[in-house]
Structure 1
């Protein structure tokens, strides 16, 4: 029997792995070491440059199998100098741990690793306990959990139930559990106008003006009021750019990105149709191409 896993210590060790998607930073090797020492059979399921880990205690294909799913990759830190503490330092101050991924979701991974190890050692189950951990949740997601599921199907592995450890509690730990997850859709918008000098705006067709109007329309739209199991859908403007090297030039092109988190009122197709309709309305009025 190995010593119990300290979830706080493991969280700190994971935070110190600089695993900004698609980099792994040593996170999967660390988890594999901890789980292998506790008797889990660990397999790396890397694909497309993404590190993934599948760990199982018990027999392959067991009819009773409980799984945990989570990710170790994190979003970029932005300006590291603007952080109060090193984003990969796992500094503990006043009872709080600071670091990129402390909430989403290295603490969750550490917690279910500790729980799984404790469970199989204290009360060995009649079945299997599985951990499916991906390094591609914050990115495109094509080579993360999907890669693990493909590998499981090919190798005769299965889960009868699975708990995803994503943080879902708004204010207090344990106050809310979800039975599903909202969809995510990222739309890239390109507006093409006519370049010109800022002294003669009437001779140009400013793509920025049209883009601002389109984004204002999208931002003002209430997509829905929520459903039985999900909060209202949301739209966030995440990037705006025109690559303009001078402040006296009206650019020929401007781009933006929006991300929509949608509930079961919508689908990718219905949202795409709505975005295209809004774009056509603005493009026609502004005389630009969107």
Structure 2
């Protein structure tokens, strides 16, 4: 079979095996078998699978190819069996077909294409777990087991446009303290009223710096809780802030800017999901320009947020179909995905060789 037929067959297998986040052991076995059957050595940690191209030279730069094999749970709107791979009208239906099965199998096909070839860089294929929940046992758990890379190509449905920046996420618990008192008397300091001052500021708040690709960093109040009974002035009001951080900020910088504006105590739940961008002048930007790829900033999270190296997000399929009922990917999108990844890596190799000759 050719690369395309291999990819479609593999995706069909993956669709028909439930692989919710933290429950991907069976799809991990299928991916492992895919490499084993091609005499490609496989490494495994938890439900994360990776393989090196035939030769590894520590003197060469390294490129990671990464996509995930976990899925969300199917929603109630499905009219087709989410675990039955159905081909109709040029579409392959099934849970995870678009997000991100099409990208995963296309990357694996491209990796197989280059496996035994001489390249000016090392190539590693990583099929990661727990991407949908940004889990600690996903790609974050294997980064220290892998060689560092000068570029990670993260496979997600982008219609083969290239995301060169991605928003990060920070969820903050905000705590405002007042003083309890009887509601019938002029007693206490109402924590709700104090919180209202902060919430008014949040409603109108604008961060100082803007991103070229992602625009403004945005903060939204999404949950609020205060009080226990009607006749007691509450001494505590808690609310939650959702902060979508562009590449103009680190999470730490965005947090400090908010702390300089609000009276509430701000406690971030996590500082893991950083924003990302490709450094100016990186070779992948030149490759994208040469191939005429559209570049943009992505508002959605992926494993990019956990990869501490320069990365781009690109893959077949459409992000609008992700997590939707009767999810599908066009078969010709898989073909174009394989071809697109191969062209990107070939162009990168050519430019790197030219650079090395200078």
TM > 0.5 fold call: yes
Query: What SS does structure 2 have at the residue aligned with 1:69?
Result: strand
Q: Tell me the equivalent position of 2:107.
A: 112
**TM-aligned CA deviation for residue 66 of structure 1:** 4.2
1:275 deviates by 2.3
TM-score by length of 2: 0.56
| 1:227 to 2:227 alignment | no
Give the deviation of 1:87 after TM superposition.
5.1
Residue in structure 2 matched with residue 186 of structure 1 by the alignment: 171
User: What's the CA shift for 1:231?
Assistant: 1.5
- Higher mean alpha-carbon deviation, 181-190 vs 28-37, is at 181-190
C-alpha spacing 1:126/1:186, structure 2 compared with 1 (3 Å): same
Equivalents in 1 of 2:251, 2:114: separation in Å?
A: 40
Q: Which of 125, 131, 137 does residue 117 from structure 2 map onto?
A: 125
Deviations 1:16-49 (A, max 9, x none): 4443333325222221111221232111023xxx
CA RMSD in angstroms comes to 4.2
Q: Structure 2: where are the runs of 5+ without partners?
A: 267-358
TM value normalised by structure 1: 0.67
Q: Deviations over 1:171-193 (max 9, x none)?
A: xx22x323454433332334556
Change (3 A) 1:2 1:97: closer
In structure 2, distance between residues paired with 1:146 and 1:39: 27
1:145 aligned onto 2:109: no
Q: 1:249 to 1:74 in 2, by over 3 A?
A: farther
Contact 2:50 2:127 in 1 (8 A): yes
1:256 positional shift: 1.9
Aligned pair count reads 262
- Aligned-partner Cα distance in 2 for 1:212–1:192: 12
Deviation at 1:69, TM superposition (A): 1.6
- Which structure has more relative contact order (CA 8 Å, sep 6+)? It is 2
Which structure 2 residues correspond to residues 80-229 of structure 1 after superposition, within 5 A?
Answer: 80-85=75-80, 88-89=83-84, 95-97=90-92, 100-120=95-115, 124-127=116-119, 128-140=122-134, 142-153=136-147, 159=149, 161-167=151-157, 169=158, 173-174=159-160, 176-191=161-176, 214-215=198-199, 217-223=201-207, 226-228=210-212
Q: Where does residue 34 of structure 1 map in the other structure?
A: 34
Deviation at 1:162, TM superposition (A): 3.4
Structure 1 CA distance for aligned equivalents of residues 95 and 20 of structure 2: 9
Residue of structure 2 equivalent to 1:286: none
